[in-house]
Structure 1
Amino acid sequence: MLAESEITRVLTVTAHPDDVDFGAAGTVALFGDRGVEVTYLVVTDGDAGGNERELDNSGMAELRRAEQTAAAKAVGVTDVRFLGYADGSVVPSLELRRDIARVIRQVRPDLVITHHPDRNYQFIAPSHPDHRAVGGSALDAVYPDARNPYAFPELLTEEGLEAWTVREVWLTGGSTPDHWVDVTEAMDRKLTALQSHVSQVAHVEGFTDFVRGRFASWGERAGFGPGHYAEGFQVVPTA
């Protein structure tokens, strides 16, 4: 597993606005505290989400992009990119792999954080079809696409993007996390980020208590003890 000193650039690849904030915003905030550069790549605009359907899909997409941008700023991230795929219909594809590989070559991260591509039968919420499609495509983009100069040759010949090897991937939402991050000192910032997604969470009664309870239980599972909060990941060495 990479040492903290070996992580200087991080790319998160998620399906929808708010996914990174549920899964990893505390960890991202701590990365920022150490001077790590973090980029968010969001595959869809979340246009099929939202509790109140007063906006059409185009209006919802614009709103959710703005919410994600605000959430990112709450944890110190200013580089937020959207691919604009249709919410709810993402499938693994060569096009998606190419688009993620492009950003990997642009950002040149040491670490990629993305969704677990397998269904979690213990807790279904992380297993949205878009999540699984994005996680699988992101892993394919990491290996072999981004590091292979012969994959998607137009990225090199037309865009000048040299091959890049990501050294490690952290998966969120899986049933077998093997790496825990104590995010206690960043928990308030994680909550601020999540609450920036007004269209998604404002109607949820007791939302703050729900979030604190979930991540406190993970803090206990991680062995950090009472009063601590944790985010969990499955580490995939890729170098």
Structure 2
Amino acid sequence: MLSENEINRVLVVTAHPDDVDFAAAGSIARLTGRGVEVTYCVVTDGDAGGFNRELDNGGMAQLRRTEQVSAAKAVGVTDVRFLGYRDGTVVQSLDLRRDIARVIRQVRPDLVITHTPERNYRFVSPSHPDHRAVGGCTLDAVYPDARNPYAFPELLRDEDLDAWTVREVWLSGGQTPNHHVDITDTIDRKLDALRAHDSQVGHMEDAEGFVRGRFSQVAMEAGLGEGRYAESFQRVTTG
């Protein structure tokens, strides 16, 4: 397992704008607060989400990209990349594995954070099909694709991207987390990031109360006690 001082660069790969902020923005704020370089790779533009259907035909996609860039800044992230896949139609594919492997080789992270590829029967929201497809492709891109110089040889031949080995992956949204990050000191920055996604949370009567309640429960389940907030992950070492 990586120790904190071994994490210098982090890549977060998610399906939609706002996924990282619901799952991990408090942890990201802790990382950037101690100087870690964090990059977001968002597979879709989130054009199939939101509640204002007047923004169909591309308007919602542009809005959600803008919201994600603003949310990232709230937790100290300025490198946000979009792959442009269609929201709601993502499947595990060689193309997506290659595109994620490309970003891994560009960023060269110590740690990758992404979705669990498994369905969560306890709490269904993390089990969106796009989430599971992105999580599965990201794990495949981490091992074996990004580290294997013979995988997607065009990345080396045409783009001069050498193989890179990611040392650890944190999966969000699963039923069996084994790593809990105390985000009590960064919960306000997580809330600021989520507020940037007005198209997704603007309709909620008490979005802050929902978020505080959800991540207070996570902290209690992690044994951190009352008055604390936490985000949880499954840590996967990559050998």
In structure 2, the residue corresponding to 1:57 is in which secondary structure?
A: coil
- What's 1:80 paired with? 80
Corresponding letter in the other structure for 1:224: L
Q: Deviations over 1:29-55 (max 9, x none)?
A: 000011000000000000011111111
Query: Could you tell me how far apart the structure 2 residues matched to 1:123 and 1:55 are?
Result: 30
- What's 2:140 paired with? 140
Query: Could you tell me how far apart the structure 2 residues matched to 1:208 and 1:35 are?
Result: 27
Structure 2 residue 126 is the aligned partner of structure 1 residue 126: yes
Q: Mind listing any 5+ residue stretches in structure 1 that lack a counterpart?
A: none
Query: Could you tell me how far apart the structure 2 residues matched to 1:22 and 1:209 are?
Result: 13
Query: Could you tell me how far apart the structure 2 residues matched to 1:72 and 1:63 are?
Result: 14
Structure 2 residue 197 is the aligned partner of structure 1 residue 201: no
- What's 1:16 paired with? 16
TM-score of the superposed pair, with normalisation by structure 1 = 0.99
- What's 2:53 paired with? 53
- What's 1:110 paired with? 110
- 1:61-76 matched pairs, under 5 angstroms: 61-76=61-76
- What's 1:192 paired with? 192
Q: Mind listing any 5+ residue stretches in structure 2 that lack a counterpart?
A: none
Corresponding letter in the other structure for 1:196: A
Q: Deviations over 1:186-235 (max 9, x none)?
A: 00000000010000000011111000000001111111111100000000
Query: Could you tell me how far apart the structure 2 residues matched to 1:39 and 1:227 are?
Result: 30
Query: Could you tell me how far apart the structure 2 residues matched to 1:60 and 1:29 are?
Result: 27
In structure 1, the residue corresponding to 2:122 is in which secondary structure?
A: coil
Q: After the TM superposition, which segments of 4 or more aligned residues of structure 1 sit over 2 Å from their partners?
A: none
- What's 2:170 paired with? 170
Structure 2 residue 30 is the aligned partner of structure 1 residue 30: yes
Query: Could you tell me how far apart the structure 2 residues matched to 1:74 and 1:37 are?
Result: 14
Query: What is the deviation of 1:155?
Result: 0.1
Query: Could you tell me how far apart the structure 1 residues matched to 2:51 and 2:126 are?
Result: 18
Query: Could you tell me how far apart the structure 1 residues matched to 2:51 and 2:174 are?
Result: 26
Query: Could you tell me how far apart the structure 2 residues matched to 1:206 and 1:38 are?
Result: 29
How many percent identity over aligned positions? 73
